[in-house]
């Protein structure tokens, strides 16, 4: 009995030590748990606008966590990695550029990175632009991958699988959205396909007696209507004038086609001699439509050409405020020219 009592006495310090250690470990675990919970509730250190975060292909959540920590945005990178393992989302983060809003917590950050909802940048194509203006605009967009530098128009259309087709007018003006790194030709392909769909749909529903033999001729005329239109409400009326002139075998006599045919020689002013100088695009010297569109027509201009307004007007002249005076006879037209162009009574 004495021996057993001695062993019991000897074991007491060990038991106390183990008990103390267990209490310390439990306390540490409890503190870590509370600290981890506090981490989950604490938003990232972002300013009021948030920030865009780019995730590289193959980048791990752990590596991303340490990157955010080094930038001063995340206090405990190991906790974010732990959250990813616990939630099962560590291996599901996607490459791309993501917007992290102000006030986002680590859990919300992880949800954003696995959502696939990357930042989309707008690209706006303006009605009335030429293909040169469109390409110059794309070249200025810093988020695009520029693959068309030095590529001429013929090669461009080859890459768009439209070999031999003139590029003018074929890209539907609109605002499109793309993620960072999108190739510039992808923008053009989407706008081209949008124009082809719109043109085909409207051609099928067109007025049956139009003096146009193909959707391409409608596209050409729509580009002229676009360049002549100052206010949207007049598109159908202007289209009606041109359609009636074509029906009667009259020349279109529209200045924008002359200007397009002049190319770089146009200095901002069109003179009488320019109207007499023959080019394939001079609708004062040549009958019918020019050989190609002269600009990007809007969807509304295409629709106006397919459904021109009825009437008797064969002429129109600008009032100088974007609107036009429409006339049925040359005599009426000449009076309107004297009043609004020559400032004569």
Is residue 25 domain-resident?
no
3-state secondary structure of 72: coil
Identify the domain boundary among 199, 228, 248. Answer: 199
Is residue 1 domain-resident?
no
Nearest to 223 by CA among 322, 299, 316, 311: 299
Burial class (CB in 10 A: 0-12, 13-18, 19+), 5: exposed
How large is the greatest C-alpha to C-alpha distance in the chain, in angstroms?
A: 137
Q: Give me the number of domains the chain comprises.
A: 3
> Is the model's pTM score more than 0.75?
yes
Please count the CA atoms within 13 angstroms of the CA of 1 that sit on its side-chain side. Answer: 0
- Residues 221 and 323 placed together within one structural domain of the fold: yes
Calculate the average pLDDT of the chain.
91
Low-confidence stretches of the chain (pLDDT < 70) are 1-12, 14-31, 344-345
H helices of 71-174, in order, are 77-87, 106-115, 131-139, 153-159
Domain with 293 in it? 213-340
| Model confidence pLDDT, tens digit, residues 104-146 | 999 999 999 999 899 999 999 999 999 999 999 999 999 999 9
Is residue 73 domain-resident?
yes
- Residues 236 and 195 placed together within one structural domain of the fold: no
Is residue 37 domain-resident?
no
Give the pLDDT confidence score for residue 268 in this predicted structure: 87
Helix (H) or strand (E) holding 54: strand 51-55
Identify the domain boundary among 119, 143, 158. Answer: 119
3-state secondary structure of 32: helix
Say how far apart CA 17 and CA 204 lie, in whole Å: 90
Is residue 302 domain-resident?
yes
Say how far apart CA 242 and CA 306 lie, in whole Å: 12
């Amino acid at each position: 009995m004495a021996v057993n009592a001695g062993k019991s006495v000897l074991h007491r310090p060990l038991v106390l030590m183990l008990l103390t250690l267990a209490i310390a470990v439990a306390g540490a675990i409890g503190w870590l748990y509370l600290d981890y919970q506090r981490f989950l509730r604490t938003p990232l250190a972002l300013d009021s606008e948030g920030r865009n975060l780019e995730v590289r292909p193959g980048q791990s959540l752990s590596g991303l966590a340490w990157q955010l920590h080094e930038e001063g945005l995340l206090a405990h990178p190991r906790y974010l990695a732990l959250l990813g393992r616990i939630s099962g989302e560590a291996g599901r983060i996607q490459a791309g550029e993501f917007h992290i809003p102000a006030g986002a917590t680590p859990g919300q950050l992880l949800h954003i990175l696995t959502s696939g909802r990357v930042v989309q940048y707008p690209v706006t194509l303006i009605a009335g632009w030429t293909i040169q203006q469109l390409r110059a605009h794309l070249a200025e967009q810093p988020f695009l991958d520029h693959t068309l530098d030095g590529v001429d128009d013929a090669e461009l259309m080859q890459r768009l699988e439209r070999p031999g087709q003139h590029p003018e007018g074929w890209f539907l003006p609109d605002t499109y959205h793309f993620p960072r790194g999108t190739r510039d030709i992808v923008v053009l392909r989407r706008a081209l396909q949008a124009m082809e769909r719109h043109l085909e749909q409207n051609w099928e529903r067109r007025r049956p007696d139009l003096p146009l033999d193909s959707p391409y001729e409608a596209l050409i005329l729509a580009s002229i209507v676009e360049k002549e239109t100052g206010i949207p409400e007049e598109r159908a009326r202007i289209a009606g004038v041109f359609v009636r002139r074509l029906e009667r075998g009259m020349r279109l006599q529209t200045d924008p086609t002359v200007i397009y045919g002049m190319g770089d020689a146009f200095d901002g002013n069109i003179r009488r001699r320019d109207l007499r100088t023959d080019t394939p695009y001079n609708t004062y010297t040549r009958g019918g439509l020019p050989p190609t569109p002269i600009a990007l027509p809007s969807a509304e201009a295409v629709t106006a050409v397919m459904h021109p307004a009825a009437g008797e007007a064969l002429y129109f002249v600008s009032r100088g405020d974007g609107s036009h005076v429409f006339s049925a006879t040359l005599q009426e037209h000449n009076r309107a020219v004297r009043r609004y162009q020559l400032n004569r009574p």
